[in-house]
Structure 1
């Protein structure tokens, strides 16, 4: 899959899943899909601007590569840092939950994940055709 619009379409599906999960109070799933969607948006940017992307899942790593192409993307660092903590913790029940001292993501964590995803989406989609 190397067309940036296909990556964006998949990211928007993750956004819809996050919204559905939020309505059902499935906050772990909200955070999972927000992280996944953000990853796909960063890969969309890299595909569009460079024709390729590293086969990694860390938003910070992807952002680092993308920032070489557009330094303004560094403004997304905090959003990527926040969502990155959910990559492992939402997949494995025995994994540490990043810096979530209270354990599994709660409603506030899910809201912040959605906000971070939306910021990444707004920034990246402005830079795509």
Structure 2
């Protein structure tokens, strides 16, 4: 899908909002809905990777698969491939956290905290590349 290359900032703003939501949910609740936190962390990664593609090539694929997005970004800047561990972890939270599963999702609070840390790291990494 072709997009205006300047709209990468809009994608980053949306990603930042997802990160704020994840952090706020974790801070607000004594027993937070960790699946929702992890879903927002997936969204941070997806929107940040798409922002990079918008800035670099002016188009994005219609996918929510973070591994596919990482591979596309890695073809443009190879160091993005260093995010594979974070992407593989966050990728599982899209479908599993968005819809009621056949098996209950067990996502301890520590896992949600790790997801936030990974989303923060990925976001900063990509934003630093976009600045260059």
State the TM-score, normalized to the length of structure 1: 0.90
CA RMSD of aligned residues (A): 1.4
- Within a 5 Å distance, the mapping from 1:91-106 to structure 2 comes to 91-95=98-102, 103-106=105-108
CA shift for structure 1 position 92: 1.4
Aligned to 1:48: 55
* Structure 2 counterpart of 1:78, from 77, 81, 85: 85
Q: Where does the alignment leave 5 or more consecutive residues of structure 1 unmatched?
A: 98-102
- Structure 2 length-normalised TM: 0.88
Work out whether 1:58 is the aligned partner of 2:90.
no
Counterpart in 2 of 1:127?
A: 129
Residue in 2 aligned with 1:21?
A: 25
Q: Is the 8 A contact 1:89 1:96 kept in 2?
A: no
Number of matched residues? 124
Q: Which runs of 4+ in 1 moved over 6 A?
A: none
The SS at the match of 2:101 is coil
| Aligned position for 1:100 | none
